[in-house]
Amino acid sequence: MRRIIPILISTFLLASCTTQKSLYSWGNYESASYNYLKNSNEKSTQELIEAYQKIIKKQKGTRGVVPPGIYADYGFLLLQINKTEEGKAMLMKEITLYPESKVFIDRILKMAEK
Amino acid sequence: MLTGCKTTTPIAKSTAYKGMYDEKPLTILLMPPINRSTNVEAKEYFHSTLNVPIDNAGFYVIPPFLSMEILKKESAYDAELFLNSPLTKFGEVFGADLALFTIIHKWDKSGLEAKVYIEVEYIIKSTKTNEIVYTRKGEITYDTSISTGTGGAFGALADMAISAINTAATKYIDVARACNAYTFKDLPAGKYSPNYGVDGEQIAGKKEFKIRLNSNYKY
């Protein structure tokens, strides 16, 4: 045990150094999300759309890909403002990038058709 | 019962969060936060800040707005109802391996000191076994008086630029972000992280912790 603890501590320290840079960049996503959640008006919708677009176009994370859920939530928002085709295209992009999303995206597409 | 068992020797994450390492989960569903505090706004502060740290840890967080809509349609929006019941359905509907429950026990503002006292509990359960695979509870004192011009300068500038949101809300979003970030520092890495599968020997944080944070807290 005496030997294990210093190893544990040093791996912990090393790990905390390497996590400096995030897998994804998010810009002002959280406050835009909050604002939309709270108000859902035209202004907050526009703000959230811009936040999504920035995450997609100016992604600076270490993975170099759009983070989970962004294409999907963006597509879902587009569906709600009647940009149906554009919205569906975004939802399909989520499935391509993250196949694990297919199960609930199919569900939302069905709900949208009703 | 388990949380009452305090220990001073460090525990490796692979032991503390064994279920996470055994089941190798990928997808996680955010249950709408359960707000038991007296502050009605606290729910939204947490709701809009939970996916980022968990995605950043390498998991697939079910898109928050989309899942909110499905949960509402399925009359499953009150997470309190599911805290102690089987989660198999969430596995089927969302393909979620895990479900995160966030319980805000306390969110008190002290006007004079510009401090917020938060008590928040995070519980991650497996939708397959219903077992708790990760849980931490924090008593956090957040000092909001130390703000712009110091550590959070970039965040503050970016937030100011987006105009529509008022400064008080921005401040409290930062509070929730800090609570989430501090807690999930020891979350096992998910499949999209380069640390996936190799972080088991790192030390798990304390199950129950007390911490003072302010906007200089880096994450």
CB atoms within 10 A of CB B189: 22
pLDDT band at A32 (very low <50, low <70, confident <90, very high): very high
Please list every residue in chain A whose beta carbon sits closer than 8 Å to the beta carbon of residue B193. Answer: 23
B111-156, pLDDT tens digit by residue?
777 899 999 999 999 999 999 999 999 999 999 886 544 344 455 5
What does the alpha-carbon distance between residue B50 and residue B61 come to, in Å, rounded to a whole number? 9
Q: Scan residues 12-51 of A and list those with Cβ closer than 8 Å to B.
A: 12, 15-16, 18-19, 22-24, 26-38, 43-44, 47
What does the alpha-carbon distance between residue B59 and residue B84 come to, in Å, rounded to a whole number? 24
Nearest-CA distance from B78 to chain A in Å?
A: 17
Please judge whether B63 and A68 are an interchain contact, meaning their C-beta atoms are less than 8 angstroms apart: yes
Domain ranges for chain A, please list them. Answer: 26-113
CATH fold label, A26-113: 1.25.40
Please list every residue in chain A whose beta carbon sits closer than 8 Å to the beta carbon of residue B64. Answer: 33, 69, 73
- DSSP secondary structure of A8-63: HHHHHHHHHHHTTS-SS--TTHHHHHHHHHHH-SHHHHHHHHHHHHHHHHT--STT
Average the pLDDT over A43-56 and give the result.
97
What does the alpha-carbon distance between residue A97 and residue B55 come to, in Å, rounded to a whole number? 14
Question: Do residues B119 and B102 touch, judged by C-beta distance below 8 A?
Answer: no
Mutate to test the interface with B, among A21, A47, A100 (most CBs of B within 10 A): A100
Question: Do residues A38 and B44 touch, judged by C-beta distance below 8 A?
Answer: yes
ipTM: 0.86
β-pair partners for B109? B116
Question: Do residues B126 and B23 touch, judged by C-beta distance below 8 A?
Answer: yes
pTM: 0.86
Question: Which pLDDT score is estimated for B110?
Answer: 84
Q: Scan residues 119-148 of B and list those with Cβ closer than 8 Å to A.
A: none
Question: Which pLDDT score is estimated for B123?
Answer: 98
Residue B59: pLDDT over 70: yes
What does the alpha-carbon distance between residue B95 and residue B5 come to, in Å, rounded to a whole number? 33
Tell which CATH classification among 3.50.50.60, 3.40.50.10610, 3.20.20.120, 3.20.20.110 matches the domain B10-189. Answer: 3.40.50.10610
Nearest CB to B64; choose among A22, A69, A100: A69
Question: Do residues B20 and B133 touch, judged by C-beta distance below 8 A?
Answer: yes
Q: Scan residues 49-88 of B and list those with Cβ closer than 8 Å to A.
A: 49, 51-52, 55-56, 58-67, 69-70, 73
